[in-house]
Structure 1
Amino acid sequence: MTCRIVFLLVPGVHLLDLAGPAQVFGTAADFGHPYELHYVAERELVPSAQGLPLQAGTDWPELGVDDLLIVPGWRVPDPPATVPLPLHDPASLDALRAHHAAGGTVASVCAGAEALGAAGLLDGRRCTTHHDLQDDLARRHPRAHVVRDVLYTTDDRVVTSAGIASGIDLALHLVAGRHGPAAAAQVARDMVVYARRNGHEPQASAMLRHRSHLDDTIHRVQDLIDVRFAEPLPLATLAGAGGVSERTLTRAFSRATGGLTPLRYQQTLRLERAEHLISHGATVESAAREVGFDDARMLRRLRSRS
């Protein structure tokens, strides 16, 4: 089923706030995932913070519960408290409220959290924004739980991200949630984003944390493991994919990834995916089967070591 990604553009929109997530979902669509991008605004011509005018539609597409509504941020002069929300048509805020009330997900990048707050969607929920705007967001919306020093938050289908480039992290997180970490890693690599960051967690996804090296042979082997991590992958198969001997692969892999063997890398991917499934309600047993373990004992051992 096609997922519509609808960007609500406001005057003064930051180009990277918009382009970063749009590039993530557009690239995911290029890889065969069913995303369809839309851009709406109160007026057809939208001035950006960087001076480039943007063209948008004024009619909202019909939204379903699987669709995503994103508000990119805009330039906020100092002090931010003197600047009103640059949305003047109540229908825009109504659309945000209605989509969430119908079971859909709404998201913001940077100052876009203010639009979610004006729609009443931050009340009682965790949220974040650019570090320069956090105090003002908390003052304007005292019922919101503004979280500091995080890249993004998720709370009851309300997703907010910090400053500008963190919109890429947020979008990759959403792609991973819908299609798995291999899909997000594939998109990130295509965008040359080698350090995807994970919300409040300081570590990056294992698929990207060990990709900062320049060894093409090891990248090819990692590509294979990333896609087939839930399958048995004998060392001979991996060495054949890299065109090297098993001994050479083991030594080069360890050197490129900071000490990991191919098996340990595969287990790390399995563990990360299993933790994601468990956090979304799966049992340990079902998560173990999903990521390729014969039973849950190995998964429990790996979890106890992490």
Structure 2
Amino acid sequence: MPRVVFLLIPQVHLLDVAGPAQVFSTADDLGHPHTLTYVAEDDEVATVQGLTLRAETSWPSLTPDDLVIVPGWRGPTRPASQQALRHLREHHASGGTVASVCAGADALGRAGLLDGRRCTTHHAVQDELARLYPRAVVVKDRLYIEDDRIVTSAGVASGTDMALHLITTRHGPYAAGQVARAMLVHTHRDGTAEQISPLLRWRSHVDDTVHRIQDLIEVRFTERLPLSLLAEAAGCSERTVTRLFSQATGLTPLAYQTALRLERAEHLLGRGATVETAARAVGFVDARMLRRLRARTAPSAGR
């Protein structure tokens, strides 16, 4: 069972912890198990909002499948300890993912994990992050960014977006959609986050028929899905499927399926897969289609 470890710093922002924690807890309820652990220097941690949190004072053993999240805090306060920074470095070096919310990016910077990597943080402290860590590539006005298993987010509510992104990459877009709907959160923010999931971008509508079609595509996006199959699942004609889907999302069902395949392929490539392996894993016949799609989207992705 993957473990999600929250490193709590005194004067931590409650929502920076609670948002991502709720995402992973809800995922657990829906059949995607996670163990949530909270660690700190002391067993009680004061939040900005006045609620005291309980935490473990010793770190658990971690595997590459585990995730460490550093929520943001209000300064000035004592920085993360050298021991905590060492844990962050070692976890990433072993193949694990390290994430931050808001000012939590400072801990990643102190650990040297932002050097040479794209990152973001709350707009109020973006310039300060760039000044403190000149080797980091601070990208402004983004909800979240992932670069080589380092995930940073803008803060407060964007921590939830980041956590949904991590659910998508680990369990697929259908799982993320289940979590978002269970939490009653908006599945569409805006287009400023480069890593925002296609599911989160095109799930903001209220058409139940199209949601059912998307559910099917998301579960079976690696398969060939003829329009007749989608129409049968939706209980309407093929023409109606195309019309309703286009009205709700601006896409054809095939274009939506292709976007899901491309997102999953990019994740596999980021984990070291070859283009050929990634292409076949997501349902393309060979690597040529994946190469063409990546080349087509490269300018908008800033590649």
> Aligned residue for 2:186?
193
Stretch deviating more after TM superposition (134-143 or 212-221):
134-143
Cα distance in 1 for residues equivalent to 2:197 and 2:86: 36
Tell whether the 8 Å contact from 1:65 to 1:105 is kept in structure 2 after alignment: yes
Tell whether the 8 Å contact from 1:127 to 1:147 is kept in structure 2 after alignment: yes
> Aligned residue for 2:258?
267
> Aligned residue for 1:236?
228
Cα drift, residue 227 of structure 1: 0.7
Is 1:255 aligned to residue 247 of structure 2? yes
Tell whether the 8 Å contact from 2:169 to 2:264 is kept in structure 1 after alignment: no
Cα distance in 1 for residues equivalent to 2:253 and 2:102: 38
Cα distance in 1 for residues equivalent to 2:63 and 2:271: 21
Code of the residue aligned with 1:251 in structure 2: it is: R
Tell whether the 8 Å contact from 1:125 to 1:145 is kept in structure 2 after alignment: yes
Cα distance in 2 for residues equivalent to 1:299 and 1:138: 35
SS for the counterpart of 2:273 is coil
> Aligned residue for 1:80?
none
TM-score by length of 2: 0.84
Tell whether the 8 Å contact from 2:10 to 2:77 is kept in structure 1 after alignment: no
Cα drift, residue 253 of structure 1: 1.9
From 237, 241, 253, the equivalent of 1:245 is 237
Identity %: 67
Which runs of 5 or more structure 1 residues have no equivalent in the other structure?
A: 77-82
Stretch deviating more after TM superposition (90-99 or 243-252):
90-99
Is 1:53 aligned to residue 44 of structure 2? no
> Aligned residue for 1:158?
150
Is 1:85 aligned to residue 84 of structure 2? no
Is 1:38 aligned to residue 31 of structure 2? no
> Aligned residue for 1:118?
110
Which runs of 5 or more structure 2 residues have no equivalent in the other structure?
A: 298-303
Code of the residue aligned with 1:218 in structure 2: it is: V
Code of the residue aligned with 2:173 in structure 1: it is: P
Aligned-residue CA RMSD (Å): 2.7
Cα distance in 1 for residues equivalent to 2:273 and 2:93: 25
Is 1:285 aligned to residue 276 of structure 2? yes
Provide, for residues 45-88 of structure 1, a one-character-per-residue CA deviation record: whole Å limited to 9, x for no partner: 22211122222222221222322221100123xxxxxx24354x
Stretch deviating more after TM superposition (227-236 or 167-176):
167-176
Cα drift, residue 39 of structure 1: 0.8
SS for the counterpart of 1:149 is coil
Tell whether the 8 Å contact from 1:236 to 1:246 is kept in structure 2 after alignment: yes
Code of the residue aligned with 2:91 in structure 1: it is: H
SS for the counterpart of 1:132 is helix
Q: Return closer, same or farther for 1:204/1:86 CA change in 2, 3 Å cut-off.
A: closer
Provide, for residues 125-161 of structure 1, a one-character-per-residue CA deviation record: whole Å limited to 9, x for no partner: 4332211112222333344333323333334443322
Structure with larger Rg: 1
Provide, for residues 234-265 of structure 1, a one-character-per-residue CA deviation record: whole Å limited to 9, x for no partner: 3232222222233322222222222x332332
TM-score by length of 1: 0.83
Q: Return closer, same or farther for 1:250/1:134 CA change in 2, 3 Å cut-off.
A: closer
Tell whether the 8 Å contact from 2:190 to 2:201 is kept in structure 1 after alignment: no
Q: Return closer, same or farther for 1:250/1:16 CA change in 2, 3 Å cut-off.
A: same
Code of the residue aligned with 1:206 in structure 2: it is: P
Provide the aligned length of Structure 1 versus Structure 2.
296
Cα distance in 1 for residues equivalent to 2:77 and 2:242: 58
Provide, for residues 264-286 of structure 1, a one-character-per-residue CA deviation record: whole Å limited to 9, x for no partner: 32233223333443444434433
